[in-house]
Each structure stands twice: as structure tokens, then as C-alpha cells.
Chain A
Amino acid sequence: MKQDIILAGVGGQGILSIAYVIDNAALADGLFFKQAEVHGMAQRGGAVQSHMRLSDGTIWSDLIPKGEADMILSVEPLEALRYFDYLRPDGIVVTSSTPFRNIPDYPEIEKVMEAVRRAPRSVVVDSEKLAREAGTVKAQNIVLLGAAAAFLILREATLFQTIDTLFRGRGTSVLEANLKAFESGKKAALGS
């Protein structure tokens, strides 16, 4: 059993929190993992990605070879496209439809979404709307994690539990918003 995931987004969008939840859930579920992430300069609003590899056997490379990724999980649609060549021909793209426009030449969003849907399997959620409804726009990353939950080889209960642990120390409203964000992401994915 193995699963390779490219987590993508823009520096500051919280993909390291998604990674944190998956890492800890994997450990709890008895899986081995390697998860390479980006620190430093790119975190200042640049394109960031994390290679997340889960397996019940040996994992050699920290980086996913091109063509091996089972999933691209992106908090931003343009960023999802950046890693298409990592995806297996039958891989799945789970992405937000909310553009993060901090560059002057951001392509037309319709074209971006059209390109996303060219992937054989894609799940698109309006993370900004769902996160806001859940209580904070900051929880867009957790909305996406919820949207991906059904396709991960991790147990959903473990994911839920790990989100609980991660946000418990940050006050009840933050915790509740994130748990809600996870649930609404899950529901949105089923409907998409």
C-alpha cells in the first residue's frame, strides 16, 4: 500500500499544516512516510510544494519521481497545474478554485479551471467560500484536506483526530472552524 501526493500552494497558504496533519495521521495509522517541504525564500509568497510519500514498505527518495504521484492536492488552482507532469496518467487533482493573485500575469481563471479539468479525475472546491462559512478564511487548507480525505489511504477518523490535536491549543473558535472546514470540504468533494 502506498500513496504519493504533491501538496501545492503559495507560501503562506498553510500547506505545511496539511502536511503536518497527514504526517501525524500516517504515523498513527502505522504507515511510514517521507515528506519533503520548502522553507526559506520561496515561503515569501512564492510557489511552494511538498512531496508527501506514504507507504507500508520502504520509501527511498524524499522526492516523488515524475509520473508517480497519485494525487495533486492544491490550495490554489494555478499551482495545481504546475505539477501535472508529476501525476500518474490516472491520478487525481484535488484543488481549490480560488485564485491567489499576487503576480501581474496571472492567467484568466476560466482558462486555469479548464486546464485543471483536463486531468482525468479532478475535484474542485470553492475553498474560500467554504472556509468563510466555517468561520475563518484561513481554514482553506483544511477545506482542501477534507476534499481529499475520501481519496487518501489514511483513516478519516485519524485525520479528524489529528486536526483536533493541531488546533486544540489555538482556542475553541479556531478549532471548531477547522473541524467544520474539514467536514464541508469532504461534503463538497462528494458533490463535485
Chain B
Amino acid sequence: MSRQILLGDEAVALGAVHAGLSAGYSYPGTPASEIMEYLIHLAGENKAFKATWSVNEKVAYEEALGVSFAGKRALVSFKHVGLNVAADPFMNSAITGANGGLLVVSADDPGMHSSQNEQDSRYYVQFAQIFGYEPSDQQEAYEMTREAFDLSERFGLPVLMRLVTRLSHSRSPVETRDARPQNELKKGAAKDWILLPVNARRRFGLLLDRQAEMVRFSDESRFNVLKLNEGDRSFGVIASGVAYNYFREAEAGEASLPSFLKVSTYPLPEGLIRRLVGHVDTVLVVEDGYPFIERQLKGLFGIAGKTVLGKLSGTLPASGELSPDIVRRALGRGPLPALEASGLPLAARPPQLCVGCPHADTFKALNKALEGTSGSNVFSDIGCYTLGALPPYNAIHSCVCMGASIGMARGAADVGIRPAVSVIGDSTFAHSGITPLLGAAHADSDMTVIILDNATTAMTGGQPTYGSGERLLRLIEGLGVAKEHIRTIEPLPKHHDKNVQVIKDEIGHRGLSVIVAVRECVQEQRKRRS
């Protein structure tokens, strides 16, 4: 047993290694990136297991699935929206089942600190009808990860762990235990893994047959804690994940706690819930994310004779991240005495592009080149360059999901938006930009794609990228883009006029053109030099 300081993300990584992990795969995304960062650190020099940044989340999932097929234990991790990208293999892996233990970690971002939505991964647990964990602290993240691999093999199914930003990025000492050895190679049976209807129907039947056992396991899990207050039957709390901590924080120092159930596993522990609800008149459901538990509890018609409070009732806000203060209020407690705000109006300090960032020069040139055009639209993508939306650039008009800039520019061009410009980073291009560009090249769509090649995945801290430099240029040509309309610029102030001209020329071309803006991210440059 040893004690280590770990982020929630790192506790998952270490738990996986101690559970006999053979390989982990991921695509960077806040707040999940630190899982793979730490895994790579743990793999170290001797590489006892594989730890890999994949091209995108779908690919990462399929790589992990291959490991599971081979009988070994695999971890695949990403941010919540990454699971959308991986949803196809994810849903189908519930049908093939897992051979070696397979843990999917999806890190949600309630409050959208670094995301474009607040989707709640627990719905994916329910959607796929598999088992899910939701840790409330770093120690549980470690323990649950270890258990999840055993459980995955016991049920023969992938298991999902839901994290939230607050736990992913919080550090605490964690007690760790000895590592278990890795599994031996043992291939899966073809009849389970070939999802022809004849096999898939049988496999789906097996998945449905396991549902009752999963509920039973949830009811018996040591991570779900039920405490009934015999003296007070008026009010009880159901709380999950980090929201449980906020509930306990608000009640700390009180002589007695209301009845409560801490929920840490899904499908819901039905027996425990029945006991809590049976014991009290009013239940407050506290969960970070969507009202997932609350909605199931209420159903369409509510529970006769009981009052269910939570996000649906308006007792807690329906959007944003929970906090100890919000939960305190929902429990009917007033605010703690605090210092008054200083009274000085505080200027906001939003994030911005680093001084000297190559994207800044590209945006300046692009803005100049588009001056005087009417009806132009710049479709952007996910990365540091999304900050081009803010002043002084105000350079982009959309940012939706990984790779969307190219498909959207084509769609808009198809119906008459001109010039239609797409702006996408090299890592995002490798992730989801290649396929839409292939289609646009085939149609020779009237649009200009600007690929910002800074040779890294910058926003998430500088992970590797797979389509940069020469390889990127060859790739674009290979997709069928006309060679004379593949242009390269170096986004530097001294090349401003030249770059404006290149962009103008290509926007003027009635067909597809691709401009690659090549200059390394200054943060990465600094790291490399230090």
C-alpha cells in the first residue's frame, strides 16, 4: 500500500495499470486528457503496457476493442463529446461483449468549462444497457477502476465510468494497492464478434438477460451507501458523484444527517432506492449533469404520496455545474457569512491566443483578404483557433464539433454561400477533416479550406498530431485536391501582404482550394527549446 497525490484522471490511469492493463487509447479533450498523459508517464521507458494517443475517439475505441477481443484488458478514455464520435463501436460493443476487461471512461463537463455542451454520459450507460460507475472522489476513482475490469470480465461486457471536470481535475492523496498481472492472450469467438443479424440477435438477447443481474450487483455494491434516519421520516436525499460531497459539505457539523442514499453505480440500485423513498415523504435528488436519476424516479406520473425535488422541480438549476453553495441552498440553508465583494467592477479576463500565436497572423490575413467581399462565411472548428471568435479578430462564424468546418462549408457552398471558408487545425483535420475533404474534392466544391498546421494538439496541452508537415501536404493531394490549389503560407507578420494575396487568389478560384498555414505553436516551440 502506498500513498500518492493524484488527479481524479490520474487515479483512473493508475487504477487501470494496477488492474493489469495491457493497452490504453485516447484522443485529447478537456477534462479527460490527463488520463492518457499519466498513462504514458506510467508506461515510461520499459513500456510494460501500451499507452497511445489515437487519431480520434472512434479509432481509439476500436483499438481498445481489439485488445479486449484478444483477451487483454483495455482502457479507452475521452471527454463526453468524444463518446459521440465513438458511439458506433461503443453501442455495438455492448452486443459483441468484451472478452478481456474493457473500461470506457467518459469525462463530462457540467458548466461547459471547456466544451460545447453538457451532455451526461450516464445516458450512454442506459442506452447501451451496460454497467456504469460514477466516483465521488479520487480514492473511489482508483477503486472503481480496479473493480470495473473484473466486472467487465464477469459480465462479458464493456463498463463505462463517468467522470466530471471537478473530479478529473482535483488532486488528493490516494491509497494504492499492489498491481495484478496482465491477462494471457485469448481470442474471442467469431460467433460472438461477427455481428450478422443471426449472431447479433442472440447476443442482444444475452445482453437483455443480464440486466437483472446488473441491478442486483448495483444494489449490493459497496459504493452505494444507504443511511436511514429513524427519527426523521420527512425528508431524504439521493446524491451521486461529486454532488454527494456537496450534500455532505452542507450537512457537516450538524448533529444528525437526513436519510440519504449515495448512488455510485448504474443501472440504479432499485432496492436501495425503494427503501429510501419508502422511508421519507420528500426526496431531493442531487446530481451533477442532467436529471438522470430524478427523471427515472418520477417517471411520467410521479410517485403517489411522495414529493420528488431536484432539477425538474426547479429546486436545483437545470443547467451549469453544481457547487457546494447551490446544494446548500437547495437543502434550505442560508449562505455562510462572507466578505463583501470589493465593489470595484471587475473586468472579465477571458482566455485568448498566446502572444505570437501563428493563428493570430492567419486570422489577420484572412480578415484582410475577406474585406470587401459580401456574404462570406468562415466555418471554424475545435481548437485554440476557436478563440478567433473573440475580439480583436472576430474572424469566425461557427464552431460546432470536430471536423464540422469542412462539411458545413461545403453544404453552405452548395446552396450559394460565397466565399465559403473553412478553418481547421492539423489535429482536428486528422481527427475528422479527412473524410469531408475527400467528398469536397470529389465534387470540387466552391470553397477554401485553411488548415492551421501548428504541428500539435495545442488546446489540450500539446499532444502529438498525425497529419502535419509534408505528410499533411501529401495527404491533401492524395484526397484529390488539385495540386495548383494546394498552397502553403507561413503565418508571420512579415509575410502578411503575401499571405493576404494567396488567400485572395484561392478564394477567387471557383472550386476547391486548400491553404496550409504552417508555423509551430509557440508554446510547443518553447517546450522544445527548454
Contacts and interface: CB of A to CB of B under 8 A. Distances in A.
A44 B114 contact: no
Given A44-B387, A103-B349, A39 B173 contact: no
Contact of B339 (A27, A91, A105, A106): A91
B32 to A, nearest CB: 10
Interface in A18-61: 19, 23-24, 27, 32-47, 58-61
A81 interface: yes
Interface stretch (A110-118, A123-131, A175-183): A110-118
User: Which among A36, A37, A86 has the greatest number of chain B C-beta atoms within 10 A?
Assistant: A36
A106 to B, nearest CB: 6
B336 interface: yes
B347 A78 contact: yes
Contacts of A59: 172
Contact of B338 (A32, A37, A87, A111): A87
B31 A40 contact: yes
Given A23-B171, A24-B5, A68-B336, A41 B30 contact: yes
A42 B351 contact: yes
Interface residues of B, number: 52
A63 B172 CA distance: 13
Interface string A61-90: 111111110000000001101101111110
Contacts of B242: 61-62
Given A43-B351, A81-B344, A86 B338 contact: yes
A38 B113 contact: yes
Contact of A10 (B340, B346, B349): B349
Interface string B498-519: 0000000000000000000000
Given A34-B171, A60-B249, A84-B340, A107 B351 contact: no
Contacts of A85: 338-341
A40 B341 contact: no
Most buried by B among A33, A37, A44: A44
A169 to B, nearest CB: 12
A84 B30 contact: no
B324 interface: yes
A185 interface: no
A115 B34 CA distance: 37
A119 interface: yes
A11 interface: yes
Given A34-B171, A60-B249, A119 B339 contact: yes
B254 to A, nearest CB: 13
Interface stretch (B92-100, B162-170, B202-210): B162-170
A172 interface: no
Q: Is the interface of B mostly helix, strand, loop or mixed?
A: loop
Contact of A61 (B245, B344, B349): B245
A27 to B, nearest CB: 6
B342 A115 contact: yes
A116 B328 CA distance: 28
B344 A88 contact: no
A192 interface: no
Scoring A10, A63, A115 by chain B CB atoms within 10 A of each residue's CB, the highest score goes to A63
Contacts of A63: 166, 246, 323-324
Nearest to A33: B172
Given A37-B171, A39-B34, A67 B336 contact: yes
A112 B342 CA distance: 9
A108 to B, nearest CB: 10
Nearest to B336: A67
Contacts of B171: 19, 23, 33-37
B425 to A, nearest CB: 14
A64 B354 CA distance: 30
B252 A60 contact: yes
Contact of B345 (A27, A60, A107): A107
B368 interface: no
16 contacts: A37-B169, A37-B170, A41-B30, A44-B351, A44-B354, A63-B323, A67-B335, A84-B339, A84-B342, A85-B339, A88-B338, A89-B339, A102-B352, A106-B347, A107-B346, A118-B342
Q: 3 closest A-B pairs (Cβ-Cβ)?
A: A67-B336, A67-B338, A40-B30
Interface of B: 3, 5, 30-31, 33-34, 113-114, 137, 166-167, 169-173, 242, 245-246, 248-250, 252, 323-325, 328, 335-354, 384, 387, 459-461
Interface of A: 10-11, 19, 23-24, 27, 32-47, 58-68, 78-79, 81-82, 84-89, 91, 102-103, 105-107, 111-112, 115-116, 118-120
